[in-house]
Amino acid sequence: MKSRYEAAKNVFVDSIDIDDYIELSSSVTAYKQLEHSMEKPLKMILLFGRPGTGKSILLNRLQEKLKHQKEIHYFDTPATNEKEFFHKLFKVLTKQDLPANTEVNFSALVNFCKNLRGKREILILLDEAQMYGSEMMEKIRLISDSRAVKFVVSLHKTDDEDLIAKEHFQSRIWEVIELKNATQSDQTAYIHKKLLKKNLFEIANSIKEKDMKLIHAFTKGNFRECNKLIFTIFEICEYYDENEPSKINYEHIPKRIIEMAALKLGYIHV
Ligand SMILES: Nc1ncnc2c1ncn2[C@@H]1O[C@H](COP(=O)(O)OP(=O)(O)O)[C@@H](O)[C@H]1O
Ligand SMILES: [Mg+2]
Tens of pLDDT, residue by residue over 63-77, are 999 999 999 999 998
With a 6 Å cutoff on the Cβ, whether 54 touches ligand 1 is yes
Residues 6+ apart with CB under 8 A from 39: none
Q: Which residues pair with 150 in a beta bridge?
A: 123
pTM above 0.85, yes or no: yes
Neighbours of 13 (CB within 10 A): 10
SS3 62: helix
Tens of pLDDT, residue by residue over 30-58, are 999 999 998 888 889 999 999 999 999 99
Tell how far the Cα of 52 is from the centroid of ligand 1, in angstroms. 6
Q: Which atom of ligand 1 is nearest to the CA of 22?
A: 3
The CATH number of 25-179 is which of 3.90.105.10, 3.30.43.10, 3.40.50.300, 3.30.2320.20? 3.40.50.300
Roughly what angle, to the nearest 10 degrees, separates helices 255-264 and 209-219? 10
Average pLDDT (213-220) is: 98
From atom 10 of ligand 1, which residue's Cα is the shortest distance away? 54
Tens of pLDDT, residue by residue over 152-189, are 999 988 776 677 666 667 666 678 899 999 999 999 99
Measured from the alpha carbon of residue 77, the closest ligand is: 2
Measured from the alpha carbon of residue 61, the closest ligand is: 1
Domain boundaries, the chain: 4-17+183-264, 25-179
With a 6 Å cutoff on the Cβ, whether 22 touches ligand 1 is yes
Q: What percent of the chain has pLDDT over 70?
A: 94
